[in-house]
Amino acid sequence: MSERTELAKRLREKAAKEQDYLNRLISAQYWIPSRDGMEQSIADLLAAAEAIEAGEKASQILHAYGKDNEGTSHPWWAVVRKNAMGSNAILAGPFFSRQAAENHRKAREYDYGAKSIVFCFSGHWSRQYRELREALPAPPEVTR
């Protein structure tokens, strides 16, 4: 389990303890001067945990290709087919692993046609894509 996942788990546990404490105060009919503040604190803890978990999931999706980067530093895949002009038309994508793109192409082969293929593109020159990949580091089980 990564540090980020462990942190999200601890935040959820802390929020559950605070919610339990607040519920006990309410059930004992104590006057709680800072009830709104406690509820906001619990909501903030849960929001932080959700943000960490969303970042972890995005990182796993973005680095799904593992070691198979097909010779480019920032790969992404799309389902393409030659159009009437002879150039590739992107039918679906981006996908962050060849396997996900192949699965999608096979599932939609009737719609895309038998001549559709999965093509690897490089996001190396895309500043936003590089910044996103740097902000969401690869999970520990993925080594480049």
The range of the structural domain enclosing residue 23 comes to 3-62
pTM confidence score: 0.51
Structure tokens at 101: 């793109």
Question: Does residue 143 lie within any of the structural domains?
Answer: no
Q: Are 92 and 126 members of one domain?
A: yes
Question: Does residue 68 lie within any of the structural domains?
Answer: no
81-139 residue pLDDT tens: 887 777 778 888 788 888 888 999 999 988 888 888 888 887 767 777 777 777 776 66
Give the chain's domain count: 2
- Which alpha helices (DSSP H) does 63-137 contain, by range? 98-107, 109-112, 127-135
Q: Are 47 and 80 members of one domain?
A: no
